[in-house]
Amino acid sequence: MEIRLLGSVALGSGGEDSLFGVPSGKVRTVLAVLALSPAKAIPSEQFVDELWLDKPIGNARNALQANIVRLRRFLERRTGRAGDELVRTVQGGYRLDVDPQTVDAERFVALAERGGELVDSHPEQAVVLLERALRLWRGPALLDTDTLRCRLEAVRLDERRLSAQEDLITAKLATGQERAVVSELRRLTTEYPERERFSGQLMVALYRNGRQTEAINVFHRTRQRLVRDLGLEPGRELRKLYESILVQDQVLG
């Protein structure tokens, strides 16, 4: 069994055709909160806050227990394991009793960290690990949940995804894949104009492909967007890269 959070919340046992969504919104939220901290006890109060913070109810503990029962039944049907062995009652709360590596978000973070550590020393290995990490994503994290913790975790995971993409492109540039990354970088700089690292990577890729003028234009477009939208000038690293391209510094080749 795999628990998928990098997209809609679902259970899976292989490819996309073996995914099972969680039909109830509250049961889905309970599963998401448990899976965000696998093998760790979550206090009942945290579930109550997640499920009914905007509309407090008098019998929240009973309602939570009812949703735990529904979740256990769902897991039991889909996994063949006893539901109360997967979602255990612990003092003051509940625990999802699974190996953390069965949760895609946990696997993604572990792979992204290992890949990021190898970017400078072993970029070929970094490419393999980071591509494996990014292939786990099916859409925005926790796509079909809408509670405070889930939203915060979704932002954290989405930020980690962008960092992994930046690391992957750095590793590809280090292995001579300048031509292959240009199209992706054009998309990323359009979608995330505030992330100067993407702009810098695009400038390097274009310059190494003999397109110095285009690389310079990327800097000017980035600067215009930063000044217009955020009231900021480009950072020191991007300015230094721009100056190196102007003088055709051999270090960039």
Q: Given the structure tokens 């949760």, which residue do they identify?
A: 103
Query: What is the pLDDT, as a whole number, of residue 179?
Result: 95
Query: What is the pLDDT, as a whole number, of residue 14?
Result: 61
Kindly tell me the burial class for residue 29, based on how many C-beta atoms sit within 10 Å of its own C-beta (0-12, 13-18, 19 or more): buried
- Greatest alpha-carbon pair distance for the chain in Å reads 70
Which DSSP category does 232 fall into?
A: -
Query: What is the pLDDT, as a whole number, of residue 58?
Result: 78
Measure the CA–CA gap between 218 and 197, rounded to whole angstroms: 12
Q: Which residues of the chain have pLDDT under 70?
A: 14-17, 251, 253
Query: What is the pLDDT, as a whole number, of residue 85?
Result: 94
Kindly tell me the burial class for residue 55, based on how many C-beta atoms sit within 10 Å of its own C-beta (0-12, 13-18, 19 or more): exposed
Looking at the chain, list the stretches that DSSP marks H as alpha helix, in order from N- to C-terminal side: 25-36, 44-52, 60-79, 83-86, 104-118, 123-135, 148-174, 178-191, 196-208, 212-225, 236-246
